[in-house]
Structure formats: structure tokens, C-alpha cells
């Protein structure tokens, strides 16, 4: 137990330390539980190592605004599992990795979180409290699918510190790294470098959560007091870090060049890779920080410059949602339930009528409703438009039509000419295209303004006698515009 002040402040830090221990429990628990998995011979695996690998990988993979994908984490853990038990096959490594990840997510519980009881002294009496926490959080990614982010608790466990000033820790990590590099102790430096990288990630998380606060509600922050000072401080800090890390990197490069031992260059190269990752993350954080002013103004516009309500109506978010969120579940639920009732139309109560009941009992249970189902968006490939006729066919038809004169040529003759071209007849062939062209000329004669001529198809009472086409045997006429008698469009020519 711990002695708490009037505000529930935990003076001995017992509660804080119990919480820190509690976070380690799910990880240790894996080791305890592995032997209970009766059907599986998994006792050879070191589950804690796998769990830490998972948290580690998630921590390093998560970016300023995106999380890590499940598959990547499982793959990283399966690699470690493969090192531990090389004699087993890949499927088992993946299965072990999945089991560990599911355990870390606490799949199977409603909330998917862990909890631990601890006590504090409040108003002179000891009360037991529950501390709920998560190791890995599932958040929606840009595509709406779950991504993983490590919780602050998990990062604390991994890095081994609770409630620290992250910025100064980062300075310390870099200082340690530099000292080790200067003395040439590269093996130790490797660990220190990884520590520095984790601090970098932690610092990014820290800044991110502070910036988010600003985005949520502009009134919760003061630009001059909070945001600007944070921005300046963070930018200065990052600049220092970038300088420090660049110096270490330069030292390493020099060491690599002057080294006589065999192992040094390889180790130095690894260190440089880690440092480059640190620098990359710092650069992205810096870019984000530089946009803060712009974002603040945009948020200010969105949130503050809204005209005041014209009538005294309820501001649903501020007056209802936010106060309701602050209430304990016990009190809030009845209120929200009445809201739900009032916001839905009345319903005719379902009255049990015996024949209905029997029908109801006899009908097979309905399938789970499709709402939660996976919806696969069909992907439409780019289908090129295939032209039914080739360019040669078009040229051939134009050539045939060119031969007509003022006396006119019958469609049947043209068809014969087309078929004599030696191309087989049928759908998509020369005679078909010709018939379509002539039909087009019947409806819309082709005027040639340059020569003052008209190419048209005229219908008289000749029936077309053809194997493939039926209708009028149209007369295709090519001559001066005045020589063509007006067409009688009431007649139709049909193509088979």
C-alpha cells in the first residue's frame, strides 16, 4: 500500500512501482503458460524474448502517424523463434509468433486489455484500485485495417523507466553512446545506440501526443505559453540531437577508416545504420514540428471562428458528449440510454402470438448479419476497347464507296464486291462493315463541302436478296448535292 496525499498523490511511489511491475506481468506470464499448452511442444521457446521482440519491432516500426502491420510483427517474431528452435519448421515458428502476439493483445477478452489491482490510501482509508493497461494498441490504419502501436506502458517496460523526462534521457543516451564510441568500445556502443534509438521513438511519441492535444481543442492550449515554447524547445532539442548524432557518426566513420582490426568496420557500420535511423526519425519529427504553426492556424479557423448559435440550442458535443464522458459508467449509461430512446422513433412492441412463436422456433437460426462481414471491393482492370473492324477494312470500304457515281450502285453489288476481297464473311468482316456504312449513309448522307458532292444511300422498292442481310436493296449514289433526291427516311434497312 502507499500513503496518498489529499489529492490521491502517491508520495512513496508504491502505486507507480506496482503499476510498472504489473506491465511486465503479461510478458512473464507467457513463459508460465507455455507449458500449459498441452498439445503443443513449445517449451523450448523463450516466450519473453519473443514478446519483447514484438514490442520492440512495433515500437521501431510505428511512425508519426501510422502503426505496424500484424504480418510484419509476426514475421519478425518468427525469425527469432527460428533462431531459438532451428530444428522445428517455419509453420510452427509462425504459430508460436501468432500465439505470443495474440497473448500480448489479450485476444479473447472484451476490452483486450490487462488489469492489475493495487491500493492507495485515500481520505485515510485503504482502497483497492484496478489499473487497466494495454501493451499493444490496435488502431485503424490509413486503409481502415488494424495497425499496432505500442502503448506508453509497453515502451516504458521495454526501455526500463517510468515517468522520466524523455528529452534529458535522450541526451543521456547520446552522451553514453558518444563516450563508448570515443573509447572504441563498439560492442557496448551497439546497445547504447539501440537505446538512443528507442529514446528517439519515445520522444517522437511524446511530442505526437502533445500535438494531438492541440489539434483536439484549440482552447485547451495557449499558443504563446504552451505550443510555441514546446515547439521551440523540441526544435532546439532535435537540432542538438542531430548535431550530436552526426558527430558520433563522423567519429565512427573515421574509426572505420583507421581501424586495423577485422571486426571494427562491421560493428561500426551497424552503429552507423542505427544512427541514421535516429537521424531519419528526427528529421521527420522536425518537419512535423515546423508545420505546427500552420496547423494551429488551420485548427483555429476550424474551431474558433464559428459564428455563435443564433438560438439557444444544445451544443451536442460540448454540452452533452463531453460531460457524459466524464461521468462514471454507472451514471452515464442511464442518461445515454434515455438519449438513445428519445432519438429513436417509438416501436410497436413485439407481442408473442403462439403460432408465430412456433414458426419462430422452427426457422433455422439466421446467419450472422453481413454488416460486419468482409466487403471485397471489386477491382476493375483496364480493358482496352477492341475495335470490331481493322483499319484495312475501313480503307477497303471507303475505296468501294468511292467507286459509286451519280447513277448509283446497288448495295447487293457492293456486298458482292466486298466479298470478292477474299476475306471470309460474317460478323466483324468487310461485308458487315459495308452494310453498316451504307445504312449510315441512308440515315445521314455524307456531304463533302470541298467538292459540293453528297454520298447517300437511297431506298426504292427493291428487296435485297442476300444470305446475311435482309431489307431494301439500297442504292448508293455519289454526286452533286442538288442531283440527289431527298431521302425517304420512313424506310428501314435491317442488317442480320
- Binders of other proteins among residues 103 to 142 (CB under 8 A) are 105, 107, 110-113, 117-118, 120, 122-123, 125, 127-132, 134, 137-140
CB 471 within 8 A of CB 492: yes
Q: Which stretch binds other proteins (CB under 8 A): 283-291, 338-346, 474-482, 483-491?
A: 338-346
Report how far residue 315's alpha carbon sits from residue 13's, in angstroms, rounded to the nearest whole number.
41
Cell readout for 329 is 459508467
Q: Which is nearer to other proteins, 9 or 403 (by Cβ)?
A: 9
Q: Does 310 bind other proteins (CB under 8 A)?
A: yes
Q: Which is nearer to other proteins, 41 or 117 (by Cβ)?
A: 117
Q: Which is nearer to other proteins, 304 or 427 (by Cβ)?
A: 304
Report how far residue 40's alpha carbon sits from residue 48's, in angstroms, rounded to the nearest whole number.
18
One of 32, 33, 145, 403 touching other proteins (CB under 8 A): 145
Q: Which is nearer to other proteins, 279 or 320 (by Cβ)?
A: 320
Q: Which is nearer to other proteins, 328 or 422 (by Cβ)?
A: 328
Cell readout for 349 is 412492441
Q: Which is nearer to other proteins, 78 or 435 (by Cβ)?
A: 78
Provide, rounded to whole angstroms, the least separation between the CB of residue 161 and other proteins. 17
- Give the three-class secondary structure for 252: helix
Provide, rounded to whole angstroms, the least separation between the CB of residue 198 and other proteins. 22
Q: Does 320 bind other proteins (CB under 8 A)?
A: yes
Report how far residue 310's alpha carbon sits from residue 306's, in angstroms, rounded to the nearest whole number.
11
Give the x-and-dash track for 407-446 against other proteins (CB under 8 A): ----------------------------------------
Neighbouring residues of 274: CB distance < 8 A, sequence distance ≥ 6:
190, 193, 194, 196, 197
Report how far residue 128's alpha carbon sits from residue 61's, in angstroms, rounded to the nearest whole number.
37
| Residue 321 to residues 255, 314, 327, Cα–Cα distance (Å) | 60, 11, 10
Kindly identify the residues of this chain, within the stretch 289-308, that bind other proteins according to CB under 8 A.
306-308
One of 161, 164, 179, 336 touching other proteins (CB under 8 A): 336
Q: Which is nearer to other proteins, 346 or 364 (by Cβ)?
A: 346
Kindly identify the residues of this chain, within the stretch 341-380, that bind other proteins according to CB under 8 A.
341-349, 371-375
CB 410 within 8 A of CB 472: no
Report how far residue 493's alpha carbon sits from residue 474's, in angstroms, rounded to the nearest whole number.
8
Kindly identify the residues of this chain, within the stretch 70-99, that bind other proteins according to CB under 8 A.
70
Please classify residue 413 by burial: count the beta carbons closer than 10 Å to its beta carbon, then call 0-12 exposed, 13-18 middle and 19+ buried: middle
Q: Which is nearer to other proteins, 145 or 297 (by Cβ)?
A: 145
Cell readout for 120 is 492507495
Provide, rounded to whole angstroms, the least separation between the CB of residue 10 and other proteins. 7
Largest CA distance in the chain: 118
Amino acid at each position: 500500500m502507499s500513503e496518498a496525499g489529499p489529492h490521491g498523490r502517491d508520495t512513496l511511489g508504491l502505486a507507480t512501482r506496482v503499476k510498472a511491475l504489473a506491465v511486465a506481468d503479461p510478458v512473464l506470464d507467457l513463459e508460465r503458460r507455455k507449458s500449459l499448452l498441452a498439445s503443443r511442444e513449445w517449451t523450448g521457446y523463450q516466450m519473453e524474448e519473443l514478446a519483447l521482440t514484438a514490442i520492440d519491432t512495433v515500437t521501431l516500426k510505428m511512425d508519426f502517424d501510422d502503426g505496424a502491420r500484424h504480418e510484419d510483427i509476426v514475421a519478425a517474431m518468427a525469425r527469432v523463434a527460428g533462431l531459438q528452435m532451428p530444428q522445428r519448421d517455419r509453420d510452427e515458428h509462425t504459430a508460436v509468433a501468432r500465439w505470443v502476439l495474440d497473448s500480448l493483445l489479450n485476444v479473447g477478452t472484451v476490452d483486450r486489455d490487462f488489469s492489475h489491482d493495487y491500493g492507495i490510501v485515500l481520505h485515510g482509508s485503504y482502497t483497492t484500485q484496478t489499473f487497466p493497461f494495454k501493451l499493444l494498441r490496435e488502431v485503424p490504419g490509413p486503409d481502415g485495417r488494424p495497425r499496432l502501436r505500442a502503448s506508453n506502458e509497453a515502451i516504458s517496460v521495454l526501455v526500463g523507466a517510468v515517468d522520466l523526462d524523455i528529452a534529458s534521457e535522450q541526451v543521456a543516451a547520446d552522451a553514453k553512446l558518444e563516450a563508448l564510441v570515443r573509447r572504441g568500445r563498439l560492442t557496448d556502443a551497439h546497445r547504447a545506440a539501440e537505446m538512443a534509438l528507442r529514446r528517439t521513438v519515445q520522444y517522437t511519441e511524446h511530442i505526437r501526443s502533445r500535438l494531438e492535444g492541440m489539434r483536439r481543442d484549440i482552447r485547451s492550449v495557449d499558443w504563446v505559453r504552451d505550443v510555441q515554447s514546446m515547439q521551440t524547445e523540441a526544435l532546439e532539442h532535435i537540432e542538438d540531437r542531430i548535431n550530436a548524432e552526426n558527430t558520433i557518426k563522423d567519429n565512427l566513420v573515421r574509426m572505420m577508416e583507421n581501424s586495423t582490426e577485422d571486426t571494427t568496420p562491421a560493428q561500426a557500420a551497424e552503429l552507423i545504420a542505427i544512427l541514421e535511423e535516429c537521424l531519419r526519425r528526427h528529421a521527420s519529427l522536425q518537419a512535423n514540428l515546423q508545420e505546427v504553426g500552420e496547423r494551429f492556424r488551420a485548427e483555429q479557423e476550424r474551431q474558433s471562428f464559428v459564428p455563435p448559435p443564433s438560438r439557444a440550442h444544445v451544443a451536442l458535443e460540448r454540452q452533452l458528449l463531453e460531460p457524459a464522458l466524464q461521468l462514471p459508467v454507472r451514471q452515464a449509461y442511464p442518461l445515454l440510454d434515455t438519449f438513445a430512446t428519445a432519438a429513436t422513433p417509438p416501436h410497436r412492441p413485439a407481442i408473442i402470438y403462439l403460432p408465430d412463436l412456433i414458426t419462430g422456433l422452427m426457422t433455422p437460426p439466421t446467419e450472422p448479419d453481413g454488416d460486419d462481414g468482409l466487403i471485397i471491393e471489386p477491382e476493375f482492370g483496364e480493358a482496352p476497347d477492341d475495335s470490331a473492324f481493322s483499319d484495312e477494312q475501313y480503307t477497303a470500304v471507303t475505296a468501294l464507296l468511292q467507286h459509286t457515281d451519280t447513277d448509283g450502285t446497288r448495295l447487293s453489288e457492293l456486298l458482292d464486291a466486298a466479298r470478292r476481297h477474299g476475306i471470309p464473311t460474317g460478323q466483324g468482316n468487310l461485308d458487315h462493315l459495308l452494310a453498316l456504312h451504307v445504312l449510315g449513309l441512308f440515315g445521314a448522307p455524307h456531304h463533302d463541302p470541298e467538292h459540293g458532292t453528297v454520298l447517300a444511300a437511297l431506298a426504292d422498292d427493291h428487296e435485297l436478296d442476300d444470305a446475311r442481310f435482309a431489307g431494301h436493296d439500297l442504292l448508293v449514289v455519289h454526286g452533286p448535292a442538288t442531283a440527289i433526291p431527298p431521302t425517304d427516311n420512313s424506310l428501314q434497312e435491317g442488317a442480320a
